[in-house]
Amino acid sequence: MEHFAVWVAAFLTLGIVSFLYKDNPWYKLSEAIFVGISAGYWFVVLFWDNIYGKFWNGIFPEELIDSAGNVVTREPDYWLLVGAVLGTLMLLRLIPKIGWISRWPLAFIIGCTSGLYLINYFSSNMMRQVEATIMPLVGHWVLDPATSQNAFSAFSGADIFSNLVLVIGTFTGLVYFYFSKEHRGAFGGTAKVGIFFIMITFGASFGYTVMSRMSLLIGRADFLLFDWLGLVR
């Protein structure tokens, strides 16, 4: 059975690779299989995880047995019905006359996402990043255990340079993203330095993306040569 499955996987892998030649029926077949199978897969996973795992088990909790052998009963969480009602309202989109009601669950999702993201992005991404950038550049105070007094410890030249790069890069990058003022004069010059840092970031991200795609390609070649054909041992 496993042998057959490996052949199926190889057939589909080569079907996708055949797109490099041109769009062809083999590729289209592999693509159609991928769309159908993966849509079904995620539908089933979401059903068992969310509808059964979270909703059904929340409303009708199963009795559990703890390590001491006692039966532990959980209280049903009827609040979950709110989620189910909102979800059902979402399906009203299929009835044109009352389809506008499907905006309510959408509004709930939008409100929920906005409220959560506003706080999370503000605290985790923005404040923490700003905090990490406002740092000692040339050295810091360290408690000397011998004298029990704080002593100044200078960073190495390379560390000072890296810290300066970090602070200047973050500041100038932010200036570049400020579009409410025309990028001219000293402001424009600062923004140009910002572009320099952002281009390096894009270059690094690009390099990483290429590497990850290459490793996937090597993985597929490895599958074809090792698992399927058995040429490489």
Partner 1 sequence: MKRQIPLFITFFVGTLLIFSVFIPPMETLGENFTLFFDIIAVFAFFLGAGNLVRVHVSKLRKRKADWGFSIVTLIGFGFMLFVGLLKIGNPGGIAADVTAPGSWFQEMFNYVINPLQSTMYALLAFFVASASYRAFRAKNREATILLMAAFVILLGRTPLGMMLTAWIPDSLSIFQIPNMAVWIMNSFNLAGQRAILIGISLGVVAMSLRLILGVERTYLGGDDSG
157-176: contacts with partner 1 (CB under 8 A): 158, 162, 165-174, 176
Residue 142 contacts partner 1 per CB under 8 A: no
Which residue from 76, 87, 139, 189 is in contact with partner 1, where contact means CB under 8 A? Answer: 87
Contact call for residue 141 and partner 1 (CB under 8 A): no
88 binds partner 1 (CB under 8 A): yes
Does residue 71 touch partner 1 according to CB under 8 A? no
Which of residues 140 and 213 has its CB atom nearest to partner 1 in the complex? 213
**Of 116 and 138, which has the nearer Cβ to partner 1?**
116
* H, E, C per residue of the chain: CHHHHHHHHHHHHHHHHHHHCCCCHHHHHHHHHHHHHHHHHHHHHHHHHHHHHHHHHHHCCCCEECCCCCEECCCCCCCHHHHHHHHHHHHHHHCHHHHHHHHHHHHHHHHHHHHHHHHHHHHHHHHHHHHHHCCCCCEEEEEECCCCEEEEEECCHHHHHHHHHHHHHHHHHHHHCCCCCCCCHHHHHHHHHHHHHHHHHHHHHHHHHHHHHHHHHHHHHHHHHHHHCCCCC
Q: Does 154 bind partner 1 (CB under 8 A)?
A: no
Nearer to partner 1, 109 or 154 (CB): 109
Q: Counting contacts by CB under 8 A, is residue 206 touching partner 1?
A: yes
190 near partner 1, rule: CB under 8 A:
no
Query: Would you count residue 26 as binding partner 1 (CB under 8 A)?
Result: no
Of 77 and 144, CB closest to partner 1: 77
Q: Where in 28-57 is the site for partner 1 (CB under 8 A)? A: 28-51, 54-55
